Amino acid sequence: MLDGIWATMVLLAIVWACLTGRTEALGAAVFDGANSAIELVVGLVGAMAFFLGLMKIAFDGGLRDAIARGIAPLLGRLFPEVPAKHPAMAAMVMNLASNLAGLGNAATPFGLKAMEELRNLSKSSNTASDAMVLFVAINASAVTLLPPLGTMAVRAAAGSTAPGSIWLPTLLATTCSTVAAVVAHFALRDRPPFRLAPPKTSEHAAAGEEIGNAAEQAENTLPLLDVTGSTEAAVRLHPLARLGTVAVLLALVFALIKSFFGGEGNIGAVSQSLLVPGIIAALVLTGLRGGVPVYEAFIEGARDGLEVALRIIPYLVAMLVAIAMLRASGAIDSAVAFLGPFTAPFGVPAEVLPMALLRPLSGSGSFAVMAETIKEHGPDSFIGLLASTLQGSTETTFYVLAVYFGAAGVRNVRHALYCGLIADVAGFVGAVVACHLFFDVGP
């Protein structure tokens, strides 16, 4: 589908430029767009390497396991048909913990393992079970607790005065999308077009026996995590972790008090300025608490950051050149002028609609559109803030459905696509509302 979208963008730009007499500007836009992609990566690579290095420290220090222990009881309620000690549950816990921590690349292997195990539990090898649909719907909505580091890096490279200001709006938007996906699943699963056919008695007995055997072998099959949260082995804190925690907390409290009594600005503004230093301190202290060699872990994570930045260059070049061509041809300006009167009453600038439409289809493509939007309108404009928030509001729905169900060999996905699309709409609405609540700027 993305092939057709990209080809349409390029060909539409050429046709529109010919009709409007802007072919000369179109040729220049090709080189400008390609250069912009490289400049973006150069500005992005340092921040990506730094923050992914910090994330490696925190993960090695036990951050992901701590999140997993916290969500395990909730998953038991959402997926009552999956035994607590089954390998599917362990894989789902680690997948969602990775997503919550903002590490989607690490979440995918666990997600594929979970789908394989859920298929083994399913009564039909070709039809998605309720657990499979709900699990994929949650992945497609992708609630994330930690700050969107990639988006923050782009905003910082574009000269934003507060790159991390979109964290809370993004958290609100992605929470809306995830809640909508879960609600949509429970609302649609028993509807006639999506209802699962009841299994035959013999099949049900065989499935029960298979579940029991799998549960007995779960610990040897997938020894990923003790999701019970046992605290029998006490963690011995690194002395520097204790001292650093106290020092950082005192420093943050001092900064807030000084602002309050010194008239240096309101508490909200100062709290926002302390966001990035607070995140850095928390991640480093998490590593120290877990006895991690923080410098070595940082170097390893930063190396991964460099690889990520290099890997996205072709995607950025492809999308930024296509967008530059559309902009130079005048097609984008015409579309914005046409759609603006319809979207403005709802507080939605028409300039962000391409981003909203591309987000469910391609993560790298929407990332490139976001970067171009920020460059064109400014990182701290309402359009730039909304585009940044939209990037983290949902996951790439069609990609997630294709990869997860394809890996499980499931052809009948039932209502999974509807859940994903409902989540996309909810994430878009949540992003718009959140940006209007948090940012006192006009479109």
pLDDT, residue 225, reads: 43
Cβ pair 10, 281 in contact under 8 A: no
Which residues make Cβ contacts (< 8 Å) with residue 387, sequence separation at least 6? Answer: 351, 352, 355, 369, 370, 373, 374
Q: Smallest Cα–Cα separation from 161: which of 373, 380, 375?
A: 380
Q: Which two tokens stand for residue 386?
A: 């909304």
| Residue 297 belongs to some domain of the structure | no
Boundaries of domain holding 264? 239-289
Which residues make Cβ contacts (< 8 Å) with residue 120, sequence separation at least 6? Answer: 88, 210, 214
Q: Which residues of 87-104 are buried (b: 16+ CB within 10 A; e: fewer)?
A: bbbbbbbbbbbbbbbbbb
pLDDT, residue 95, reads: 80
CA atoms within 13 A on the CB side of 250: 6
Residues 349 and 269 in one domain: no
Q: With 80 as the cut, is the pLDDT of residue 129 above it? A: yes
Domain count, the chain: 2
Q: With 90 as the cut, is the pLDDT of residue 15 above it? A: yes
Name the pLDDT band for 256 (thresholds 50, 70, 90): low
Residues 432 and 380 in one domain: yes
Residues 180 and 267 in one domain: no
Q: Return mean pLDDT, the chain.
A: 78
Q: Taking the model in full, what pTM does it have?
A: 0.68
CA dist 65 to 117, 207, 215, 413, Å?
21, 31, 21, 31
pLDDT, residue 272, reads: 54
User: What span, in angstroms and rounded, lies between the C-alpha atoms of 281 and 287?
Assistant: 10
Q: What is the separation of C-alpha 406 from the centre of its chain, rounded to a whole number of angstroms?
A: 21
Beta-bridge partners for 127: 412
Range in 167-176, 279-288, 411-420 the model is least confident about:
279-288
Residues 166 and 69 in one domain: yes
Q: Which two tokens stand for residue 16?
A: 């529109």
Q: With 70 as the cut, is the pLDDT of residue 156 above it? A: yes
User: What span, in angstroms and rounded, lies between the C-alpha atoms of 152 and 163?
Assistant: 5
Q: Which residues of 292-314 are buried (b: 16+ CB within 10 A; e: fewer)?
A: bebeebbeebbebbeeebeebee
Q: What is the separation of C-alpha 281 from the centre of its chain, rounded to a whole number of angstroms?
A: 23
| Residue 205 belongs to some domain of the structure | yes
Residues 249 and 189 in one domain: no
pLDDT, residue 252, reads: 66
| Residue 443 belongs to some domain of the structure | no
Name the pLDDT band for 432 (thresholds 50, 70, 90): very high
| Residue 433 belongs to some domain of the structure | yes
Give the tens place of pLDDT for each residue, 73-123. 888 888 988 887 787 887 788 788 777 766 666 677 778 888 888 988 887
Give the tens place of pLDDT for each residue, 214-249. 444 433 334 344 443 333 333 444 566 667 666 766
Burial class from Cβ neighbours inside 10 Å (0-12, 13-18, 19+) for residue 115 reads buried
- Of 266, 289, 312, the residue at which a domain comes to its end is 289
Cβ pair 356, 426 in contact under 8 A: no
Residues 38 and 97 in one domain: yes
| Residue 294 belongs to some domain of the structure | no
| Residue 216 belongs to some domain of the structure | yes
pLDDT, residue 261, reads: 59
Residues 225 and 363 in one domain: yes
Q: What is the separation of C-alpha 342 from the centre of its chain, rounded to a whole number of angstroms?
A: 29
Find tokens 């992901």 and name the residue.
Answer: 64
Beta-bridge partners for 412: 127
Residues 391 and 245 in one domain: no
| Residue 358 belongs to some domain of the structure | yes
| Residue 64 belongs to some domain of the structure | yes
Give the tens place of pLDDT for each residue, 305-343. 777 677 777 877 887 788 788 888 888 778 878 887 888
Concatenated DSSP letters of 163-188: GGGGHHHHHHHHHHHHHHHHHHHHHH
SS3 assignment, position 369: helix
| Mean pLDDT within 19-25 | 88
- Of 221, 255, 289, the residue at which a domain comes to its end is 289
Residues 269 and 348 in one domain: no
Q: With 80 as the cut, is the pLDDT of residue 303 above it? A: yes
Percent of the chain with pLDDT over 70: 78
| Mean pLDDT within 133-151 | 83
Name the pLDDT band for 431 (thresholds 50, 70, 90): very high
Give the tens place of pLDDT for each residue, 42-70. 776 777 678 778 878 877 887 767 777 77
Percent of the chain with pLDDT over 90: 17
User: What span, in angstroms and rounded, lies between the C-alpha atoms of 361 and 358?
Assistant: 5
